[in-house]
Amino acid sequence: MKRSRMSESSRWYRSVRCLALAIFAVICATPVPTLAQFRVLIIPPGEPALASSVLPRDVLPDSHVGHGANDIVQAWLAMPTTRYAHGILGDKIEAGALRVKTRAGAVLSYVLPLDSVFEDLIPRVHDIDGDSRDEVLLVRSRLQSGSSLMALGIRDGKLVPIAETEPIGREGLWMNPVGVADIDGDGRLEVLVVLTPHIGGTLVEYSFDGAVFKKGHSVDGVSNHVAGSRDQGMSALMDVNGDGIADVVVPAADRLSIRAFAFDEKRPLEFTRIGLPARASGNFVVIPPNTLLVPLEDGRRMRIDWR
């Protein structure tokens, strides 16, 4: 009798335990709705993306803050100067220094010598060589020899130049970067730049091994900037032909057509050229996955859906 009661008690206990486990399993399997938390701010035309109080006091007017994913959290241009009177980016005020905020929270600076400026509004922060340290890419312009592409990074706790291309040749000869992408599909990033975009530009591909820039393919007859404009993004890196590899889209030198290039063959292949009803003027906008908006100088925009 006693054994029977114990047996019933044991069965009751097992049943309750199974029921509890089942309820627990159902609770765990029930999806919990995820609510995104966000804040919305409508920025009037011409206003900077960040309030001026957030930015350092000596930030270059109308410049952008770059963001890195490794040892550099933020990068911005500073120490405005008028010592390089070219004015290709809308005024004759250029940057004399780069500052970065490290992931550890320190602010580091690199101040250029007085023979040169950063003639650029966009510090581009990428780990180009895959060593888990960020590089900041900028256009440096020298009074004697014009523009070069410069990479800076943090070494031994200091912000220092790491590599630089040869200057174009003389004062006033400028370049405008297109951006950074793996355009040949080998798993390594390339840097794309348009040399002299206002006088018959040349699209140039550079690779970077952590020590030097190596010049690769180039294509003549392109442009990605209107003289005097602050817009440096008149180009796009996107997969136009659907092969999974980024292609380069830039206006022709007269900006009356856009040209799309693949770099994954032995030489750059222009596989598409589209005429525009007015000259391209302003930053291209990529709407993933395959739409490109091209602003035109008459205020219209051309929308291109690649496939």
- Residues 145, 147, 284: CA angle, nearest 5 degrees: 155
| Interacting residues with Ca ion between 131 and 190 (CB under 5 A) | 131, 133, 182, 184, 186, 188, 190
Conformation bin of residue 90: beta by default, left when phi > 0, alpha when psi is -120 to 50: left
Site string for Ca ion, 233-272 (x = CB under 5 A): ------x-x-x-x-x-------------------------
Let me know: does 152 contact 110? Beta carbons within 8 Å. yes
Least CB distance to Ca ion at residue 130 (A): 7
Least CB distance to Ca ion at residue 264 (A): 7
The C-alpha atoms of residue 245 and residue 49 are separated, in whole angstroms, by: 31
The two tokens of residue 228 are 């005097």
Least CB distance to Ca ion at residue 53 (A): 32
The C-alpha atoms of residue 229 and residue 226 are separated, in whole angstroms, by: 6
Least CB distance to Ca ion at residue 179 (A): 13
The two tokens of residue 109 are 């600076």
Pick 97 or 236: Cβ nearer Ca ion: 236
Binding-site member from 94, 119, 120, 129 for Ca ion (CB under 5 A): 129
Least CB distance to Ca ion at residue 216 (A): 9
The C-alpha atoms of residue 175 and residue 251 are separated, in whole angstroms, by: 15
Starting at the edge strand found earlier in the chain, the sheet holding 285-287 runs 285-287, 291-295, 301-305
Least CB distance to Ca ion at residue 73 (A): 15
Size of the site for Ca ion (CB under 5 A): 14
Q: Which of the ranges 96-104, 127-135, 141-149, 220-228 carries the binding residues for Ca ion, by CB under 5 A? A: 127-135
Pick 234 or 260: Cβ nearer Ca ion: 260
The C-alpha atoms of residue 74 and residue 66 are separated, in whole angstroms, by: 5
Burial of residue 113 (CB within 10 Å: 0-12, 13-18, 19+) is exposed
| Interacting residues with Ca ion between 50 and 79 (CB under 5 A) | none
Task: Return residues touching Ca ion (CB under 5 A).
Answer: 127, 129, 131, 133, 182, 184, 186, 188, 190, 239, 241, 243, 245, 247
